[in-house]
Chain A
């Protein structure tokens, strides 16, 4: 979008537009909102951003977000350290946690292998994962990367690395969403589910 606003306004719109999921129209709306609300509200938002950025770092062990040396899951003594669920992003932990089914530890790769974007294994927290497998006595690695090309490539890469370590390596199953109707399932998912059918 062409610069049609005065310097500081345009600068704000441009900065907001750089955020993920914020298009030019949304950036403009947020900018106008910020300019309209009381200065103390804006100051609070600004401080919150700066403080969050200052206080939050990566967990030294699993590379989830943490406010200290270790994240909440790594500090939790009740969790099973022998099983490690490997995810692409910290937000994926939240998704797995919502199931209340998993009580092991996590490892965040901070991305997936994507040569088009110049992301190779060396940009991911893979060395760190391998070190953990040796140090922490992990016996099972659950590869919970996304079921797309990049996620599958990353899972495959990790599976190859883990093979000589003689640990159990598993991958999340793909299939039909529970509670949904068969007629609403898309053909691809239904096709995969047919392929992965089980005997009863």
Chain B
């Protein structure tokens, strides 16, 4: 799949921009603050239905406008020559957003993924490696939801059950009724949690080979990248077939402490996926450069798993990726860029090995066609 064109209207600082795009690498070049990332944000919004920066949709509407519009012409299909289809997104400052596929309202939010999927890397992704476990859990769960709708549902179910259970625990659990209710939510938490954990474990297994390959290509040296899924409720490791029973038993054993603390103390919301580089915890032992490479490898690995699953490469959006890498690693990335469509923003020159198909200059909220 690829974006054949992208049109922005009243989206952040853009009054209007029309970009001709196509397969291969497109470089968006411009000074800091020119609006390069905004182009990627618009493309990602169409695919995800939200900003990858995590900001509210209303803030994406240009000051002075009521509605922002992003219109994407998409070529779907594994070879990128499939039908031309359009995705229109209207973001309103107040009221409901609207997404149209070929002029028709989208029946289900997920249906847009049949047309367009994106993998996005931003410099903030360093936190995936350097930060706490929450970011890595989110990375896994986002990727899971991207791969199969049931995991979006499992995640939403889990979060809901967790909120109910925490509310119950905060209430102090007085009386036999409350005790029985807690047991019911133990069971539900274990069921939804085990589903989520089984998905994470399968994903982690599939990711590992891709991570290693992506990292080795970027770092220019063979390296052993491994992920270790750790759960306090299963200290000896998780048997996927047994996860539900083990988690439920762990919750039952924690009841007293949980009532004291008023929160759920075991489950996938507290698990850790530790990334090991040559056997050492990358969060604490890897250098800044290695961590950057790993963060990028995480996104490229997820990209590869996505391509495997859906049979077509998602559109790869790389925000300001070269400024973060030393020249050797930048060259390595250029050589390792997967086939398919890639949009790269940069404030500096890009390595010669990139060989872009298209070169666009971005200046103060305007897109100018540049010399290729």
Instruction: Contact check, B178 vs A120: say whether CB atoms are below 8 A apart.
Output: yes
Given contacts A120-B177, A186-B108, A191-B150, contact A157 B164 (CB under 8 A): no
Given contacts A156-B188, A191-B150, contact A149 B181 (CB under 8 A): no
Q: Which residue of B lies closest to A195 (CB)?
A: B150
Give bound CA distance, A157 to B163, whole Å.
Answer: 18
Interface of chain A residues 147 through 192 with chain B (CB within 8 A): 149-150, 152-153, 156-157, 160-161, 186-188, 191
Contact of A115 among B168, B175, B187 (CB under 8 A): B168
A-contact bits for B175-204, CB 8 A (1 contact / 0 none)? 101101101110110000000000000000
Contact of A116 among B108, B148, B150, B167 (CB under 8 A): B167
Given contacts A115-B181, A156-B184, A160-B184, contact A149 B110 (CB under 8 A): no
Instruction: Contact check, B184 vs A187: say whether CB atoms are below 8 A apart.
Output: no
Q: Which of B98-106, B153-161, B267-275, B349-357 contacts A (4 or more CB under 8 A)?
A: B153-161
- Any chain A CB within 8 A of the CB of B15? no
- Any chain B CB within 8 A of the CB of A87? no
Give bound CA distance, A150 to B167, whole Å.
Answer: 13
B-contact bits for A100-118, CB 8 A (1 contact / 0 none)? 0000000000000111101
- Any chain B CB within 8 A of the CB of A121? yes
Q: Which residue of B lies closest to A122 (CB)?
A: B177
Shortest distance from the beta carbon of B96 to any chain A beta carbon, whole Å? 11
Contact of A188 among B153, B164, B167 (CB under 8 A): B153
Instruction: Contact check, B165 vs A115: say whether CB atoms are below 8 A apart.
Output: yes
- Any chain A CB within 8 A of the CB of B81? no
B-contact bits for A5-39, CB 8 A (1 contact / 0 none)? 00000000000000000000000000000000000
Interface size on B, residues (CB 8 A): 25
- Any chain A CB within 8 A of the CB of B240? no
- Any chain A CB within 8 A of the CB of B65? no
Interface of chain A residues 124 through 150 with chain B (CB within 8 A): 149-150
Instruction: Contact check, B160 vs A149: say whether CB atoms are below 8 A apart.
Output: yes
Shortest distance from the beta carbon of B163 to any chain A beta carbon, whole Å? 5
- Contact partners of A118 in chain B: CB under 8 A: 167, 171
- Contact partners of B187 in chain A: CB under 8 A: 156
Instruction: Contact check, B184 vs A157: say whether CB atoms are below 8 A apart.
Output: yes
Given contacts A115-B164, A153-B188, A160-B183, contact A187 B177 (CB under 8 A): no
Give bound CA distance, A115 to B219, whole Å.
Answer: 50
Given contacts A186-B108, A188-B153, contact A113 B160 (CB under 8 A): no
Shortest distance from the beta carbon of B106 to any chain A beta carbon, whole Å? 13
Q: Which residue of B lies closest to A155 (CB)?
A: B184
- Any chain A CB within 8 A of the CB of B149? yes
Instruction: Contact check, A188 vs B150: say whether CB atoms are below 8 A apart.
Output: yes
Given contacts A114-B164, A116-B163, A116-B164, contact A153 B185 (CB under 8 A): yes
Give bound CA distance, A187 to B161, whole Å.
Answer: 21
Q: Which residue of A lies closest to B182 (CB)?
A: A115
A-contact bits for B124-158, CB 8 A (1 contact / 0 none)? 00000000000000000000000011100100010
Give bound CA distance, A122 to B176, whole Å.
Answer: 10
Given contacts A116-B163, A156-B188, contact A121 B181 (CB under 8 A): yes
Contact of B188 among A122, A152, A161, A186 (CB under 8 A): A152
Residue with the highest number of chain B CB atoms closer than 10 Å, among A116, A149, A156, A188: A149
Instruction: Contact check, A115 vs B167: say whether CB atoms are below 8 A apart.
Output: yes
Give bound CA distance, A59 to B222, whole Å.
Answer: 74
Give bound CA distance, A138 to B62, whole Å.
Answer: 64
Q: Which residue of A lies closest to B156 (CB)?
A: A149
Interface of chain B residues 189 through 241 with chain A (CB within 8 A): none
- Contact partners of B160 in chain A: CB under 8 A: 149
Instruction: Contact check, B180 vs A160: say whether CB atoms are below 8 A apart.
Output: yes
Given contacts A115-B171, A186-B149, A188-B150, contact A157 B180 (CB under 8 A): yes
Instruction: Contact check, A149 vs B165: say whether CB atoms are below 8 A apart.
Output: no
Shortest distance from the beta carbon of B263 to any chain A beta carbon, whole Å? 13
Shortest distance from the beta carbon of B108 to any chain A beta carbon, whole Å? 6
Instruction: Contact check, A187 vs B110: say whether CB atoms are below 8 A apart.
Output: yes
Q: Which residue of B lies closest to A192 (CB)?
A: B150
Which residues of chain B have a CB within 8 Å of any CB of chain A?
A: 108, 110, 148-150, 153, 157, 160-161, 163-165, 167-168, 171, 175, 177-178, 180-181, 183-185, 187-188
Q: Which 5 A-B pairs have the closest CB atoms?
A: A187-B149, A115-B167, A115-B168, A115-B164, A121-B177
Write 8 A-B pairs (CB below 8 A) sorted by A numbering.
Answer: A115-B165, A115-B167, A115-B185, A116-B163, A120-B168, A120-B181, A153-B184, A156-B184
